[in-house]
């Protein structure tokens, strides 16, 4: 089958690569995700992989010499690959190879091979297709494993025996689930069984590489597709046991609680309809992780999870450390969202004080909208009347908070009087008293004792200093 590349927006670079390969007496093919996405009529990626049955580095260097201004060639000799940046494209060149693996390593023994050898070593039939850029058959689709048919069937199937494929490179198990989630494809039954069988081998893969795939699942349109497959195959409990610990319903004295694992997946799906923010989706995934260790039953109250938000926020740091996720602003944001995830619920009553609303504003700052998105996503009841009532409650709290914010300007709270100003008033050096006075000003504003204004804060500080026995030095 011929692929018409004449209308392809990358035709110019394809023709140039073809000419250079011919001059070098080399073969060359486009392979992998670019071919798959082209046949699916999706936006093709800006990274294009080329395979030659010769030396990939040589082909890349020859191509760079034909481009003006001449681009830098990044060479990775260990892998026999080279990268050329051309306009907004990343062009990667590699020599065709065949691989063999030992049982205890995912680093293969590599030998020079043919295009067929190279296609055999790929993860799925839909990624094992190639388009020839050779002069004699330019544009011909080379599809030895019926990848095009699997595309039409929306099926993920390995080119070779699946158990061997996943054992050789266990990261392919994560990739299978990632493609199932992002493309909404089914994993072929034998392949799914092979992932279940080989799941434990994921432990030899670096956690950083696992998280790259996991985050792509989290960013898919409906993450629960991939998350359910991770649970079904046993991979989830190896990567994130804190989440699978939420699975199951327990009954005592006729009283049950909901399955917090499947509830969590629903919350992730709900929030994903409204945001592409990765770390807000992570907050949805982790918002109930404190429920497994805090679960308690008493005949008087039934099932309870007291303090699960606080404990869950504490668990986030260790979890991020283990998974090698960012430990800066991203982690602190997730901690904040988990810790505050139930706060708005407690503010629904009519007698909620302005002070409580101010404190929520202060604690959330610029992330208030994200917190309410999480709270609304947490509504998973199937009862339409309850769903409507819960949403209305949150909208009520949002409106009350808006009114308080317009009046008191707490959201991006900056003390109306600084530590430097306090030192200037009392002619003090930096010390414990300054911190105490600043904290008293903040508490007075949050409690509504004084307005969030400079003059009121100054007078308050003078009064408090007098009570503390601090004298203005002249």
Cα 265 from Cα 268, distance rounded (Å): 5
pLDDT at 37: 95
Instruction: Determine the average pLDDT of the residues in 197-224.
Output: 96
The residue with tokens 């200037």 is 424
Instruction: Determine the average pLDDT of the residues in 413-435.
Output: 81
pLDDT band at 105 (very low <50, low <70, confident <90, very high): low
pLDDT at 352: 65
| 184 pLDDT higher than 60 | yes
Cα 149 from Cα 258, distance rounded (Å): 42
pLDDT band at 99 (very low <50, low <70, confident <90, very high): low
Radius of gyration of the chain (CA): 30
pLDDT at 363: 83
Lowest mean pLDDT among 26-40, 87-101, 247-261: 247-261
pLDDT at 107: 59
| 472 pLDDT higher than 80 | no
Lowest mean pLDDT among 85-89, 130-134, 259-263, 355-359: 355-359
| 373 pLDDT higher than 60 | yes
Cα 323 from Cα 337, distance rounded (Å): 19
Cα 170 from Cα 206, distance rounded (Å): 10
Lowest mean pLDDT among 125-139, 226-240, 330-344, 446-460: 446-460
| 178 pLDDT higher than 90 | yes
pLDDT at 364: 84
Q: Which residues belong to CATH 3.30.460.10 in the chain?
A: 11-147
pLDDT band at 239 (very low <50, low <70, confident <90, very high): very high
Smallest CA-to-CA distance from 147 within 306, 256, 227, 31 is with 31
| 245 pLDDT higher than 80 | yes
Helix axes 308-322, 278-286, angle to 10 degrees: 120
Q: Which residues belong to CATH 1.10.110.30 in the chain?
A: 154-239
Instruction: Determine the average pLDDT of the residues in 459-468.
Output: 84
Cα 144 from Cα 329, distance rounded (Å): 48
pLDDT at 109: 61
**Which of the four CATH numbers 3.30.460.10, 3.90.1150.10, 3.40.950.10, 3.40.140.10 does domain 11-147 have?**
3.30.460.10
Lowest mean pLDDT among 193-207, 250-264, 307-321, 326-340: 250-264
| 131 pLDDT higher than 90 | yes
Two tokens at 67?
């481009």
pLDDT at 201: 94
Give the chain's end-to-end CA distance (angstroms, integer): 93
pLDDT at 349: 65
More confident residue, 403 or 312: 312
Cα 169 from Cα 123, distance rounded (Å): 9
The residue with tokens 């010499």 is 65
pLDDT band at 450 (very low <50, low <70, confident <90, very high): confident
CATH of domain 154-239: 1.10.110.30
Cα 28 from Cα 408, distance rounded (Å): 67
Buried b (16+ CB within 10 A) or exposed e, 426-461: bebeeeebbeebbebbbebbbebebebeeebbbebb
| 238 pLDDT higher than 70 | yes
- Which of 65-74, 250-259, 351-360, 389-398 holds the top average pLDDT? 65-74
pTM: 0.85
- Which of 168-172, 393-397, 463-467 holds the top average pLDDT? 168-172
| 176 pLDDT higher than 90 | yes
Strand pairing category for 81-86 and 89-95: antiparallel
More confident residue, 292 or 211: 211
More confident residue, 398 or 9: 9
pLDDT band at 108 (very low <50, low <70, confident <90, very high): low
| 408 pLDDT higher than 90 | no
| 104 pLDDT higher than 70 | no
| 353 pLDDT higher than 80 | no
Contact 115, 142 (CB under 8 A): yes
Contact 450, 444 (CB under 8 A): yes
Output the CA–CA distances (angstroms, integers) from residue 232 to 192, 237, 267, 439, in the order listed: 9, 10, 19, 51
406-410 CB contacts, 8 Å cutoff, 24+ apart:
408/354, 408/358, 408/361, 408/445, 408/448, 408/451, 408/452, 409/452, 410/358, 410/361, 410/362, 410/445, 410/446, 410/452
Helix (H/G/I), strand (E/B), else coil: 111: strand
pLDDT band at 351 (very low <50, low <70, confident <90, very high): low
Instruction: Determine the average pLDDT of the residues in 13-32.
Output: 96
pLDDT band at 277 (very low <50, low <70, confident <90, very high): very high
| 103 pLDDT higher than 60 | no
Chain-centroid distance of CA 392 in Å reads 30
Query: pLDDT > 90: what percent of the chain?
Result: 56
More confident residue, 189 or 466: 189
Average pLDDT, the chain: 88
pLDDT at 422: 84
| 111 pLDDT higher than 80 | no
């Amino acid at each position: 089958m011929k692929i018409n590349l004449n209308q392809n927006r990358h035709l110019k670079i394809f023709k140039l690569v073809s000419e250079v390969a011919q001059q070098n007496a080399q073969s060359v093919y486009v392979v992998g995700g670019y071919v798959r996405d082209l046949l699916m009529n999706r936006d093709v990626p800006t990274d294009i992989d080329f395979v030659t049955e010769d030396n990939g580095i040589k082909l890349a260097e020859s191509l760079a010499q034909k481009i003006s201004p001449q681009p830098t060639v990044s060479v990775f000799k260990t892998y026999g690959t080279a990268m050329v940046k051309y306009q907004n494209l990343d062009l990667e060149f590699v020599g065709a190879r065949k691989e063999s693996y030992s049982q205890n390593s995912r680093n293969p023994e590599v030998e020079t091979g043919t295009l067929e050898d190279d296609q055999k070593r790929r993860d799925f039939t839909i990624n094992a297709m190639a388009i020839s850029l050779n002069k004699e058959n330019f544009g011909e689709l080379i599809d030895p494993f019926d990848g095009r048919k699997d595309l039409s069937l929306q099926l993920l199937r390995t080119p070779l025996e699946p158990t061997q494929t996943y054992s050789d490179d266990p990261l392919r198990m994560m990739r299978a689930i990632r493609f199932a989630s992002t493309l909404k494809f089914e994993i072929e039954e034998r392949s799914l069984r092979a992932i279940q069988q080989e799941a434990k081998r994921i432990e030899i893969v670096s956690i950083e590489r696992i998280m790259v795939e996991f985050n792509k699942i989290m960013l898919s349109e409906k993450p629960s597709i991939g998350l359910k497959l991770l649970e079904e195959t046993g991979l989830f409990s190896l990567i994130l046991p804190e989440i699978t610990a939420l699975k199951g319903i327990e009954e005592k004295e006729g009283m049950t609680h909901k399955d917090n694992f499947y509830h969590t997946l629903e919350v992730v799906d709900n929030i994903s309809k409204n945001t592409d923010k990765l770390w807000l989706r992570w907050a949805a995934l982790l918002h109930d992780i404190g429920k497994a260790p805090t679960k308690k039953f008493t005949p008087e109250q039934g099932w309870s999870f007291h303090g699960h938000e606080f404990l869950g926020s504490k668990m986030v740091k260790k979890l991020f450390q283990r998974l090698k996720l960012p430990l800066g602003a991203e982690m602190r944001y997730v901690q904040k969202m988990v810790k505050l995830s139930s706060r708005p619920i407690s503010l629904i009553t009519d007698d909620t004080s302005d002070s409580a609303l101010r404190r929520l504003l202060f604690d959330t700052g610029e992330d208030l909208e994200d917190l309410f998105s999480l709270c609304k996503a947490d509504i998973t009841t199937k009862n339409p009347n309850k769903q409507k009532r819960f949403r209305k409650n949150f909208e009520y709290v949002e409106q009350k908070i808006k009114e308080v914010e317009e009046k008191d300007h707490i959201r991006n709270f900056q003390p109306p009087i600084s530590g430097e100003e306090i030192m200037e008033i009392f002619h003090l050096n930096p010390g414990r008293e300054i911190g105490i006075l600043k904290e008293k000003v903040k508490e007075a504003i949050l409690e509504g004792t004084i307005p969030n204004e400079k003059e009121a804060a100054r007078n308050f500080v003078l009064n408090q200093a007098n009570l503390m026995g601090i004298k203005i030095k002249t």
